[in-house]
Structure 1
Amino acid sequence: MTHQPLDLSSAAETADRSPRAGLTLLCEVRQGSRPWATARLEDLSPGGFRIARLPSARAELPLRIRIPGLQLLSAEIRWVRDGAVGCAFAEPLHVAVFDHIVRNADPA
């Protein structure tokens, strides 16, 4: 039996084409034992999101996020720029969950 090498380039291309929505949604975020803070979530995709401003964010700590109507989610901070924070969900959102959030959020 022979095995073909896994073509990761096609997986990366698929990830780049995932749906993305510009929206405005208030949520709550927390890192470590810090208190929950209200944050404005923007630019959502099934794989991640951007928070408009989170000045105390530390990339080395996981982020917990509570989006209204959903269970508690975990994410990693991937970048911080001018107070904005880009995050990747620990587990991507199911497309139906993503669609539900987009339908119920204010457009950006």
Structure 2
Amino acid sequence: MGALQEPSDQHYVSRLQDRQTVLIGVRVRRKGESWFKSRITDMSLGGFRLLSFVKLRVGMEVWVMFPGFEGRKALVAWTANHEAGCEFENPLHPAIFDHIVRMSDPGARG
């Protein structure tokens, strides 16, 4: 019999890059400001795409609160029009990621 193998770092990195199309209503806040409503349109273990009409800048710290979870810190990686790509300070645990994706609008997933 072969030895059990741990998931490789390559598997983890690959999964970090796997994005799921979602539509999730979230609350977001910039450092030192009040929460506002926004939506996430895709996400991975490492980050998310945020639709926002609030001005965000690359490198800005934001907090995002998914329904049923505490706020999580993220940094804005890019912005374009009314969208921003954000990277979680700490990647999501795969079970939390799967739960959030399952709870999103099923019509959004492709």
TM-score, reference length from structure 2: 0.79
- Check conservation: 1:54, 1:85, Cα contact below 8 A: no
Q: Compared with structure 1, are the counterparts of its residues 45 and 13 closer, same or farther at alpha carbon in structure 2 (3 Å cutoff)? A: same
How far is 1:54 from its partner? 3.7
Residue 29 of structure 1 pairs with residue 10 of structure 2: no
Deviation at 1:58, TM superposition (A): 2.5
After superposition, the Cα gap between the structure-2 partners of 1:23 and 1:30, relative to the gap in structure 1 and judged at 3 Å, is same
Q: Which amino acid aligns with 1:15?
A: V
Instruction: Name 1:82's counterpart in structure 2.
Output: 81
SS at the partner of 1:22?
strand
Q: If the length of structure 1 is used for normalisation, what is the TM-score?
A: 0.81
| Structure 2 partner of 1:20 | 19
User: Contact (CA 8 Å) 1:55, 1:84: kept in 2 or not?
Assistant: no
Alpha carbons of 1:84 and 1:74: their partners in 2 closer, same or farther (altered >3 Å)? same
Residue in 2 that maps onto 1:58: 57
CA contact (8 A) 2:15 2:45 kept: no
SS of the residue 1:68 aligns to: coil
Structure 1 residues 100 and 13: CA distance shift in structure 2, 3 A: closer
Higher mean displacement: 11-20 or 54-63: 11-20
Match of 1:39, SS? strand
- Counterpart residue identity of residue 96, structure 1: A
SS in 1 for 2:98: helix
- 1:14 is displaced (CA, Å) by 5.0
Root-mean-square deviation (Å)? 1.9
